């Protein structure tokens, strides 16, 4: 069976690979972070560093694009060798964590392995995205992106809920072993499925490179630079840089602060904290689906503004009623609302990034925005300790609630996706004028 000819196989494989990214992410940011606070007594400084290290490799994942485009083993497919390589080392780094005698006492070793694991996870992500771009038909892309994003959330929820209970019953090492085993099982999909008919399944089997002519088409460097310059020269594209840089700070900062606060101050257990956070992922998924559905009908910008205002308002309202903080059901509802509203904001943000990206350089421009949004996650995690030591829980929520209502909304108001159309026309005219001038010079030189 090959992925290019079987719709179910390629959708299922792509979703499974995204789930493989979500599993270690949920394990570290929810289960392991909660465990270190509850069992190890660590505070926001360590939890913030741990979660920041998870996101850091994703900030620079754009460097993988040229690498996987330039180097691969074509007889096994253009992307499949990289996916297998990255997935294998994701498993190996998780297995290496089992060799740590005590993760609480050897926190630096743990942080190094977490970082390395996410380096390979980011490589897997870029390779899977490249495979999706090449193999998905245009009419499949909307559904596929929704399913893939949802699968990542489902993977994180699996770690937060299922692995948390495995850890509670059999210990942390068993939970790590189960995680590694699940990732091994997922790896069998790209291992046993070819990209295209006629390619090699394994290096020693029969096969050859296929469809090379369809995979090599590229614009000239000059055209690329002209369009890239045009893409980032307009106000909306420039403002989108700031939106990407700030979009995840509040939600990720609160993620770190809430783990420490509810375990240390409110007496939650690590399993309870991880389980609740895992269930929130399903509300985030719901917010993404509903937000995307409504945004396609009412407009991406309108939904982004509405979602960020409601997101900020939910922070301010919950912070204003301290008595709710001690009621677990109230906290669960607040987390669910936070997840759903941020999910709607995130999907509208992704759509707006696509809206302002020029088609001929969309890959580079969109990846730049995604890298900046991942940087905002890292900043939020790093800043959590600073805020937690200088403000109480309610003040932190109010600060970031106001930040979303005021700052994020103002940035959104300055973004007009329609500017892309005019910019595209201008860049085409620039290319035409340049070509005409070059032809005139060539004719003059020939006459001389």
From first CA to last CA, the distance across the chain in angstroms is 62
Per-residue pLDDT at 218: 44
When comparing pLDDT for 417 and 307, which is higher? Answer: 307
The structure tokens 């895992």 sit at: 278
* Ordered structural domains, the chain, with CATH: 1-217 (1.20.1250.20), 219-433 (1.20.1250.20)
Q: Given pLDDT bands bounded at 50, 70 and 90, which one contains residue 152?
A: confident
* Window from 295-299, 354-358, 423-427, 441-445 with minimum mean pLDDT: 423-427
Is pLDDT of 142 > 80?
no
When comparing pLDDT for 222 and 335, which is higher? Answer: 335
Q: Looking at beta carbons, which pairs linking 97-101 to residues 24 or more positions away fall under 8 Å?
A: 97/176, 98/173, 98/176, 98/177, 98/180
Residue in 353, 372, 371 with CA at minimum distance from that of residue 362 = 353
- Rg of the chain taking only CA atoms, in angstroms: 23
Q: Given pLDDT bands bounded at 50, 70 and 90, which one contains residue 119?
A: very high
Q: What backbone phi and psi angles, to 5 degrees, belong to 234? A: -90, 155
Residue in 272, 249, 254, 266 with CA at minimum distance from that of residue 319 = 254
Q: Given pLDDT bands bounded at 50, 70 and 90, which one contains residue 395?
A: very high
Per-residue pLDDT at 76: 80
Q: How high does pLDDT run on average in the chain? A: 83
Chain segment 419-435, per-residue pLDDT in tens: 665 555 555 555 554 55
% of the chain residues with pLDDT over 70: 81
When comparing pLDDT for 318 and 368, which is higher? Answer: 318
When comparing pLDDT for 32 and 61, which is higher? Answer: 32
Q: Taking residues 391-400, what's their average pLDDT?
A: 97
């Amino acid at each position: 069976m090959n992925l290019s000819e079987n719709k179910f196989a390629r959708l299922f494989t792509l979703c499974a690979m995204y789930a493989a990214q979500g599993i270690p992410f949920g394990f570290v940011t929810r289960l392991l972070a909660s465990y270190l606070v509850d069992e190890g007594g660590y505070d926001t400084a360590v939890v913030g560093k741990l979660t920041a290290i998870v996101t850091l490799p994703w900030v620079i994942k754009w460097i993988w694009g040229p690498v996987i485009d330039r180097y691969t083993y074509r007889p096994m497919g253009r992307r499949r060798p990289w996916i297998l390589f990255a997935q294998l080392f994701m498993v190996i780094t998780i297995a290496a964590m089992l060799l740590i005698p005590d993760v609480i006492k050897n926190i630096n070793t743990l942080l190094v392995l977490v970082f390395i694991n996410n380096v390979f996870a980011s490589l897997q992500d870029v390779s899977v995205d490249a495979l999706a771009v090449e193999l998905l038909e245009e009419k499949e892309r909307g559904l596929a992106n929704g399913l893939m994003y949802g699968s990542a959330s489902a993977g994180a929820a699996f770690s937060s809920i299922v692995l948390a209970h495995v850890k509670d019953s059999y210990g942390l090492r068993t939970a790590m072993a189960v995680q590694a085993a699940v990732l091994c099982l997922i790896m069998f999909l790209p291992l046993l499925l070819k990209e295209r008919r006629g390619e090699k399944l394994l290096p020693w089997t029969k096969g050859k490179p296929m469809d090379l002519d369809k995979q090599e088409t590229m614009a000239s460097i000059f055209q690329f630079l002209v369009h890239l310059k045009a893409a980032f020269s307009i106000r909306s594209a420039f403002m989108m840089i700031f939106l990407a840089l700030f979009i995840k700070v509040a939600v990720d900062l609160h993620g770190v602060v809430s783990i420490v606060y509810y375990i240390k101050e409110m007496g939650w257990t690590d399993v309870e904290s991880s389980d609740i956070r895992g269930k929130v992922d399903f509300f985030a998924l719901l917010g993404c689906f509903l937000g995307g559905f409504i945004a396609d009908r009412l407009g991406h910008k309108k939904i982004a503004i509405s979602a960020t205002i409601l997101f900020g308002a939910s922070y301010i309202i919950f912070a204003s009623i301290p008595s709710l903080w001690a009621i677990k059901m109230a906290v669960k509802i607040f987390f669910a609302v936070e997840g759903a509203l941020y999910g709607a904001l995130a999907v509208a943000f992704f759509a707006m990034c696509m809206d302002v990206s020029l088609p001929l350089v969309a890959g580079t421009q969109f990846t730049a925005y995604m890298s900046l949004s991942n940087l905002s996650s890292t900043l939020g995690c790093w800043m959590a300790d600073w805020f937690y030591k200088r403000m109480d829980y309610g003040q932190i929520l109010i600060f970031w609630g106001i930040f979303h209502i005021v700052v994020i909304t103002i940035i959104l108001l300055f973004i007009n996706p329609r500017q892309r159309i005019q910019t595209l026309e201008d860049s085409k005219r620039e290319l035409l004028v340049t070509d005409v001038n070059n032809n005139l010079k060539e004719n003059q030189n020939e006459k001389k």
